[in-house]
Amino acid sequence: MIRFENVSVTYDGETTPILRNIDLELFEGEMVLVVGRTGSGKTTFLQTINGLMPHFTGGTLSGRVTIDDRDTQTNPPRELADLVGVVAQDPARGFVADTVEEELAFGMECLGLAPEVMRRRVEETLDLLGLNDLRYRPLMTLSAGQQQRVAIGAVLTSHPKVLVLDEPTSALDPGAAEEILAALQRLVHDLGITVVMAEHRLERVVQYVDRVIVVPGNAAPLIVGTPQEVMRTAPIAPPVVELGRVAGWNPLPLSVRDARRVAGPLRTLLIDQIPPVRSNESTQDSEVLSEAQQLTIQYGQHTALKAVSLAIRSGEVVALMGRNGAGKSTLLNAMVGLRFASSGSITTHGKDPRTLKGVELLNSVGLVPQSPGDLLEATSVGDECKAADRDANVESGTTRALLDLLAPEIDHATHPRDLSEGQRLLLALVIVLAARPPLLLLDEPTRGLDYPTKIRLVDALRNLALAGHAIILATHDVELAAEVATRVIVLAEGEVVADGPTADVVVASPMFAPQIAKVMAPYPWLTVTDVVNTIGPLILRSHAPISGDALT
Amino acid sequence: MKAAFQIGNNASTRWLHPGAWWVWALGLATAASRTLNPLLLVLIIVVAALVVHARKPDAPWARSFIFFVKLGIAIIVIRVMVQVLFGAAIGETTLFNLPSVTLPEWMAGVRLGGPVTLESILMAFYDGLRLATIIICIGAANSLASPSRLLKSVPAALYEIGVSVVVALTFTPKLVADVSRVQAARHLRGRVTRGPRAIAGAAMPVLEGALEGSITLAAAMDSRGYGRRNDMGVKAQRTTSTLLAVGLIAACIGTYGLVAATSPMLLSAPMLIIGVGASLVAITRSAQSAVRTRYRPDPWWIPEWLVAIAGIFIAGTFIISMWISPLAMETQVDPAMWPALPLLPLIGLVIAATPVLTAPPIPRTYGESPHITPQPFEVAA
Amino acid sequence: MTPAVRIGKRSLFAILATTIVGIVAFGWPLIASPESDAVAHSTDAPWLFVIVVPLLLAVVLAQFTDGGMDAKAIAVLGVLAAVVSALRPLGGGTAGLEPIWVILVLGGRALGPGFGFSLGAVSLFSSALLTGGVGPWLPFQMLGAAWVGLGAGLLPKATGRTEIYLLAAYGAVAAFAYGLLLNLWFWPFTAGLPSAIAFVPGAPLAENFSAWLHFTVLTSLGYDIPRAILTVVLIFAAGPTILTALRRVSRKARFGAIPTFESVTP
Asked whether residue B4 carries a pLDDT value surpassing 70, the answer given is no
pLDDT at C68: 64
What average pLDDT score do residues A542-550 get? 45
Question: Measured between CB atoms, does B78 come within 8 Å of chain C?
Answer: no
Cα-based distances in Å from A510 to A144, A183, A500, A513: 22, 21, 16, 6
B79–C191 CB contact, under 8 Å: yes
pLDDT at B369: 38
C71–B261 CB contact, under 8 Å: no
Interface probe for C, chosen from B35, B65, B111, B214 (most Cβ of C below 10 Å), is B214
Rounded to an integer, what is the distance from CA A359 to the centroid of its chain?
A: 32
Range with the poorest average pLDDT among A306-315, A361-370, A378-387, C34-43: C34-43
What confidence category does residue A83 fall into, taking pLDDT thresholds of 50, 70 and 90?
Answer: very high
Q: Which of C31, C118, C249 is facing B214, going by the closest CB pair?
A: C249
Query: What percent of chain C stands above pLDDT 70?
Result: 94
Residues from chain C contacting residue B170 (CB–CB below 8 Å): 82
Preceding amide of B335 cis, omega within 30: yes
Closest CA relative to residue B40, chosen from B49, B48, B32: B32
Q: What is the pLDDT of residues A422-431, one digit of tens each?
A: 888 999 999 9
Distance from C-alpha of A246 to C-alpha of A438, rounded to nearest angstrom? 38
What average pLDDT score do residues A1-14 get? 90
User: Where does residue B133 rank: exposed (0-12), middle (13-18), buried (19+ CB within 10 A)?
Assistant: buried
Q: State the DSSP H helix or E strand holding residue A125, giving kind and residue range, or none if neither.
A: helix A115-128
Q: What is the ipTM of this complex?
A: 0.89
Question: Measured between CB atoms, does B220 come within 8 Å of chain A?
Answer: yes
C130–B268 CB contact, under 8 Å: no
CATH entry 3.40.50.720 includes domain A288-493: no
Q: Which residues contact A186 (CB under 8 A, 6 or more apart)?
A: A128
Asked whether residue A246 carries a pLDDT value surpassing 90, the answer given is no
Are C61 and C121 contacting, i.e. CB atoms less than 8 angstroms apart? yes
Question: Measured between CB atoms, does A324 come within 8 Å of chain B?
Answer: yes
- Sorted by where each starts, the structural domains of chain C and their CATH numbers stand as 9-253 (1.10.1760.20)
Question: Measured between CB atoms, does B215 come within 8 Å of chain C?
Answer: yes
Average pLDDT over chain C reads: 86
pLDDT at A8: 93
Kindly report the CATH number that applies to the domain delimited by A2-237.
3.40.50.300
Residues from chain C contacting residue B163 (CB–CB below 8 Å): 74, 78
Question: Measured between CB atoms, does C48 come within 8 Å of chain B?
Answer: yes
pLDDT at C67: 66
Q: Going edge to edge, which strands form the sheet with A343-348?
A: A302-313, A288-299, A343-348
Question: Measured between CB atoms, does A172 come within 8 Å of chain B?
Answer: no
Q: What is the pLDDT of residues A409-442, one digit of tens each?
A: 889 898 888 888 888 899 999 999 999 999 999 9
Question: Measured between CB atoms, does C265 come within 8 Å of chain A?
Answer: no
- Give the residue on A whose Cα is nearest the Cα of C266: A6
Question: Measured between CB atoms, does A460 come within 8 Å of chain B?
Answer: no
Asked whether residue C226 carries a pLDDT value surpassing 50, the answer given is yes
Nearest Cα of chain A lies from the Cα of B84 at a distance, in angstroms, of 49
What average pLDDT score do residues A234-255 get? 87
Nearest Cα of chain B lies from the Cα of A220 at a distance, in angstroms, of 27
Distance from C-alpha of B22 to C-alpha of A44, rounded to nearest angstrom? 48
Asked whether residue B353 carries a pLDDT value surpassing 60, the answer given is yes
Asked whether residue A58 carries a pLDDT value surpassing 50, the answer given is yes
pLDDT at B107: 60
pLDDT at B370: 38
What confidence category does residue A541 fall into, taking pLDDT thresholds of 50, 70 and 90?
Answer: low
Range with the poorest average pLDDT among B200-204, B359-363, C25-29, C120-124: B200-204
Task: Residue count of chain A, please give it.
Answer: 552
Residues from chain A contacting residue C266 (CB–CB below 8 Å): 6
Asked whether residue B3 carries a pLDDT value surpassing 80, the answer given is no
Q: State the DSSP H helix or E strand holding residue A7, giving kind and residue range, or none if neither.
A: strand A2-10
Closest CA relative to residue A441, chosen from A478, A469, A400: A469
Nearest Cα of chain C lies from the Cα of B288 at a distance, in angstroms, of 10
B379–A114 CB contact, under 8 Å: no
Q: What is the pLDDT of residues A269-315, one digit of tens each?
A: 888 787 877 655 566 678 889 999 999 998 877 889 999 999 999 88
Average pLDDT over chain A reads: 88
C241–A379 CB contact, under 8 Å: yes
pLDDT at B75: 87
Distance from C-alpha of B258 to C-alpha of B252, rounded to nearest angstrom? 10
Query: What percent of chain A stands above pLDDT 90?
Result: 45
DSSP A211-253: EEEE--STTPPPEEE-HHHHHHH-SS--HHHHHHHHHT-SSPP
Window 287-346 of B, Cβ < 8 Å to A: 291-297
**Contact residues, chain A to chain C, C-beta under 8 Å:** 6, 8, 12, 54-64, 73, 78, 379, 415, 417
Q: What is the pLDDT of residues C114-145, one digit of tens each?
A: 999 999 999 999 988 887 778 888 999 999 99
A299-316: buried (b, 16+ CB within 10 Å) or exposed (e) per residue? eeeebbbbebebebbbbb
Q: Which of B190, B216, B291 is facing A88, going by the closest CB pair?
A: B216
B60 vs A548, more confident: B60
- Give the residue on B whose Cα is nearest the Cα of C71: B218
Closest CA relative to residue C197, chosen from B88, A191, B25, A263: B88
Question: Measured between CB atoms, does A64 come within 8 Å of chain B?
Answer: no
B366 vs A67, more confident: A67
pLDDT at B45: 96
C74–B167 CB contact, under 8 Å: yes
Count CB atoms within 10 A of the CB of residue B242.
Answer: 12
B354 vs B63, more confident: B354
Enumerate neighbours of B (3 or more CB pairs within 8 A): A, C
Are A2-237 and A288-493 equal in CATH topology? yes
Query: What percent of chain C stands above pLDDT 90?
Result: 39
Residues from chain B contacting residue C237 (CB–CB below 8 Å): 200
Cα-based distances in Å from B362 to B13, B15, B23, C149: 5, 5, 18, 39
Residues from chain C contacting residue B200 (CB–CB below 8 Å): 237-238
Are A457 and A45 contacting, i.e. CB atoms less than 8 angstroms apart? no
Nearest Cα of chain C lies from the Cα of B335 at a distance, in angstroms, of 18
DSSP A178-197: HHHHHHHHHHHHHH--EEEE
Asked whether residue C83 carries a pLDDT value surpassing 80, the answer given is yes
Asked whether residue B263 carries a pLDDT value surpassing 80, the answer given is no
Preceding amide of B38 cis, omega within 30: no
Residues from chain C contacting residue A64 (CB–CB below 8 Å): 263
Interface probe for A, chosen from C74, C264, C265 (most Cβ of A below 10 Å), is C264
Q: Residues A507, A509, A514, CA angle at the centre, nearest 5°?
A: 55
Top mean pLDDT of A81-90, B86-95, B228-237, B360-369 is at A81-90
Rounded to an integer, what is the distance from CA A503 to the centroid of its chain?
A: 22
What confidence category does residue A522 fall into, taking pLDDT thresholds of 50, 70 and 90?
Answer: confident
pLDDT at C200: 83
Asked whether residue A153 carries a pLDDT value surpassing 80, the answer given is yes
